[in-house]
């Protein structure tokens, strides 16, 4: 199966929309024939960008969140940084979703132990040297969607960022990017972006500042209508029926921090802080899944479930094909598989995802 040919056919029929101010962006690509990244590319207009994509057929395509006066300069210090969009990255790879035992596996390079689910180190010998096989299913995307909606709510309600300036993008793999194209934020330096990232993650909250004494016990002292984290914590206490309940001091503090953990947005802070980040180009195909990097409106993100988002991100044909693979994930995208047999019939777009991620997967026949 010529996966590169499938990508070419997609790009021939589907021009990629340009990012704003395309002439001030750096672009970068990887190809099917090389693992290295081709950087310091710039385009004057959308037509030039799409000609390049059709001719080169990239496996992965990125553009800079930063604006430059000379984006094609080979040295970063010569590009002339003029500001950067703020981007938040939500990736379920960092979240212990309940579906991971259904599709993720690990094997310890040190002792050979192996198992299913999320493992940061070997539970047998403690080694952190693990080989991992990870997959994405609709349940993963559902968790990431909830995190994205929490983030959007914090940005809008607490930081006053307009919905019209936030663009949620399904990454085509494990989660979402939230692009913020607010001119008031473009000039922010790295440290200011770190503070925003810390805020949405609920870092630095001291529960002692949120409680007051009542007799021998303590109670939470802010109503749910209070701005920022004060009201956000109150709402989560109310969901537990504990908003007015006097409790021992340490018990109440522990409860408050549990509410913070529920309410915070699990983002990759390194992406938000980076003022020269390369981010996936919406409208292109993700080279590890074949799914489309899909821009959405906030209203669409709120209305669509994970299955609908995946369905809309499918960009390759659904022709039935026979696939052979040694160890099948029990669940991937919206499909559930039994452990019986190494050969199964699946849609072509899913076969591409399997082949791009498993060295043992191969397409046997079409139709």
Q: Are strands 27-30 and 60-64 parallel, antiparallel or unpaired?
A: antiparallel
Query: For residue range 321-362, what is the model confidence (pLDDT) as tens digits?
Result: 999 998 888 999 999 998 777 899 999 999 999 999 998 999
Give CA 226 to chain center in angstroms.
30
- What integer pLDDT is reported at residue 145 of this predicted model? 97
* pTM score: 0.92
CA 358 to CA 327: how far, in whole Å? Answer: 9
pLDDT for 1 = 64
Provide the 8-state DSSP code for 359. Answer: T
Place of tokens 């537990």: 240
What per-residue string of b and e applies to 130-162 under the rule 16 or more CB within 10 Å gives b?
A: beebbbbbbbbbbbbbebbbbbbebbeeeeebe
Q: Which residues of the chain have pLDDT under 70?
A: 1, 367
**Alpha helix positions (H), the chain:** 3-13, 46-56, 100-103, 138-157, 190-200, 228-239, 249-263, 269-273, 298-303, 306-313, 348-357
Catalytically active residues, by annotation: 89, 91, 268
Question: How many whole angstroms separate alpha carbon 106 and alpha carbon 115?
Answer: 6
pLDDT computed for residue 367 by the predictor: 60
Token readout for 184 is: 């008031």
Q: What is the pLDDT of residue 338?
A: 85
Nearest to 282 by CA among 16, 11, 6: 16
What pLDDT is attached to residue 49? 98
């Amino acid at each position: 199966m010529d996966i590169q040919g499938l990508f070419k056919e997609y790009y021939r029929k589907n021009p990629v929309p340009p990012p704003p101010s395309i002439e001030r962006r750096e672009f970068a690509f990887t190809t099917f024939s090389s693992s290295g990244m081709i950087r310091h590319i710039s385009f004057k207009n959308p037509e030039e960008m799409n000609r390049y994509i059709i001719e080169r057929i990239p496996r992965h395509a990125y553009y800079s969140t930063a604006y430059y006066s000379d984006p094609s300069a080979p040295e970063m210090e010569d590009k002339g940084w003029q500001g950067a969009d703020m981007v938040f990255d939500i990736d379920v790879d960092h979240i212990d979703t309940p579906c991971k035992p259904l599709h993720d596996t690990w094997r310890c390079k040190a002792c050979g132990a192996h198992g299913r689910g999320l493992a940061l180190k070997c539970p047998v010998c403690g080694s952190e040297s693990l080989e991992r096989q990870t997959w994405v299913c609709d349940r993963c995307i559902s968790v990431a969607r909830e995190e994205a909606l929490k983030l959007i709510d914090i940005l809008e309600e607490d930081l006053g960022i307009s919905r019209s300036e936030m663009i949620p993008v399904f990454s085509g793999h494990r989660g979402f990017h939230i692009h913020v194209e607010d001119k008031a934020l473009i000039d922010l330096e790295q440290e200011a972006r770190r503070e925003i990232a810390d805020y949405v993650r609920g870092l630095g909250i001291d529960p002692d500042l949120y409680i007051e004494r009542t007799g021998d016990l303590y109670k939470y002292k802010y109503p749910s209508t209070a701005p920022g984290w004060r009201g956000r914590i109150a709402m989560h206490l109310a969901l537990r029926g504990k908003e007015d309940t006097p409790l021992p001091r340490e018990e109440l503090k522990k409860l408050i921090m549990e509410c913070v953990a529920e309410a915070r947005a699990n983002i990759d802070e390194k992406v938000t802080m980076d003022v020269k980040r390369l981010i996936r180009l919406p409208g292109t195909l993700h080279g590890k899944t074949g799914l489309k990097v899909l821009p959405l409106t906030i209203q669409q993100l709120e209305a669509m479930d994970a299955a609908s988002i995946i369905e809309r991100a499918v960009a390759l044909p659904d022709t039935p094909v026979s696939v052979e693979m040694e160890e099948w994930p029990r669940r991937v995208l919206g499909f559930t598989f039994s452990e019986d047999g190494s050969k199964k019939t699946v849609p072509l777009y899913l076969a591409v995802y399997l082949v791009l991620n498993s060295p043992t997967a191969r397409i046997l026949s079409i139709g």
